Amino acid sequence: MVRAVGTAANERLLDVGGGSAAYSIAFAQADERLRATVLDLPTVLPIAERHINAAGLAGRIETRPGDLRRDPLGKGFTLILVSAICHMLSPEENVDLLRRCYEALEPKGRVVIQDFILEPDKTAPRQAALFALNMLVGTPAGSTYSYEEYTAWLREAGFPGVREIRLPGPSSLIIGVK
């Protein structure tokens, strides 16, 4: 993912729902100029902090408690990562989250969504279609979504530029540029 997304000078990353901080760590290890913030629930942050400290990156990756469903995301970020999050949320919650991402980004900043991306008819790829059933059973309103749905949400949130990067495996990246 780091190679596909890349980094820029003085990149400031927000890892929304960053869990263990694995992606923040990978981005920070790839570019010593990058600074990151992992936003997650207070019960999750000790896990992230353990991994950040073990990687020797406590000076470059901070943690911040927050609920991605409702809390402000902050300001001044140049890159926001939303990995394996959107499938847990309803379409309305996704639009709200993406609007808050837009507000948190600097001009020309990017939001990167990593998730299962369905074909327009929502029957493929197979893993993504099956995962939609898992979300139907396991969440109040989650699902897997198509590129067209993500594009519509990103545009509604204010992002004029949207593109997809296919990754090997079951997930892809969708990037919105402010």
Structure tokens at 60: 């470059």
Catalytic residue among 87, 100, 110, 178: 87
Contacts of 3 (CB under 8 A, 6+ apart): none
Q: Would you call 132 helix, strand, or coil by DSSP?
A: helix
The alpha carbon torsion through 125, 129, 130, 132 (nearest 10 deg) reads 140
- Does the bond joining 125 to the residue before it have cis omega, within 30 degrees of 0? yes
With left for phi above 0 and alpha for psi between -120 and 50, is residue 74 left, alpha or beta?
Answer: left
Catalytic annotation present for 51: no
Strands 12-16 and 77-83: parallel
Structure tokens at 111: 């939001």
Active site residues: 87
